[in-house]
Amino acid sequence: MKTRTHGRSGATHRRPGLALVLALAGLLSGCGPAPAHTDSLPAGERPFWQAEFDGAAATRPSEGSWTTETGNRDAEGWGNNELQYYTDDAANSSLDGAGHLVISARPAPAGSELPCYTQEFCTWTSARLTTEGKVALIRGRVEIRAKMPTGTGLLPAIWMLGDSAAEWPGQGEIDICEVVGGEPRTVYGTAHGPTYFNENGIGSSTTLEADASQAFHTYAVDKQPRRITWSVDGEPYFTLTPSELPAPSDWVFEQDMHLLLNVAVGGDWPGPPDTSTPSPAPMTVDYVRFYGEGRA
């Protein structure tokens, strides 16, 4: 998604450029609907950590696994001149009572005067959740089954940051899924590191059969030693190895990496929202599952 200057959890300013570098041309493929919630576990495989979001409606996600980051101005517009103020209000992130986490971007309440970086007050609110310091993957696969919001000025993201003490982009970032503004069927997957970041991030994209907000899809990354593979609904569309980097020594992904979920509004990549932008604009997450080795 984006980064700042000292790590996505506390702050990282990652700025998705206006154009991503799509390496290796990627296999563009249509994606069918994801498997049902109850039979989506691969045969014989069990996650070492999972969030299924079972609980009463309006309940905030578990603080044992998730931290809610807040603000805008102090975070310098989250590195991308964004217009949303992240809150810890249930209106912006909570369970829906039907087994989902819902992260909603919505116009700021009248008179709220939420301090913004690019203008006096933020005109939208939203939420940004991270597992930093609580849950991380070192090697294996992370799967998120979700419906992504689409519309002018929106940038929902599912992504990972390295747990190292290095400043971004040296800490490493893996964008599992980004759906930008007016491209409702396009899923972007990108890696950022010391010499390949922002508009020079290395990645590819795949095309869904319909708008990403219309159905659940399973967005995944398989993170193995010296190899990362992106997929949607079990169909791989891009693999990155050190040989594709400006220098193989710039590979920074052999470390614990934590997960982030957020819906950004406005900023450098999607541009500003307009009267057609849906409100609320929900990212609905059915589950998050980590397979392989990590910390929980």
Known catalytic residues are 173, 178
17 CB-contact burial (10 Å; exposed 0-12 / middle 13-18 / buried 19+): middle
Q: Cα-flanking dihedrals φ and ψ of residue 7, to 5°?
A: 105, 130
Contact by Cβ (8 Å): 163, 154 = no
CA–CA distance, 271 with 277 (Å, rounded to integer): 12
Q: Exposed e or buried b for every residue in 260-280, given b needs 16+ CB within 10 A? A: bbbbbbbbbbbbebeeebeeb
120 CB-contact burial (10 Å; exposed 0-12 / middle 13-18 / buried 19+): exposed
Residue type, 87: T
**Vertex 266: Cα angle to 188 and 78 (nearest 5):** 80
Q: How far apart are the first and last CA of the chain?
A: 23
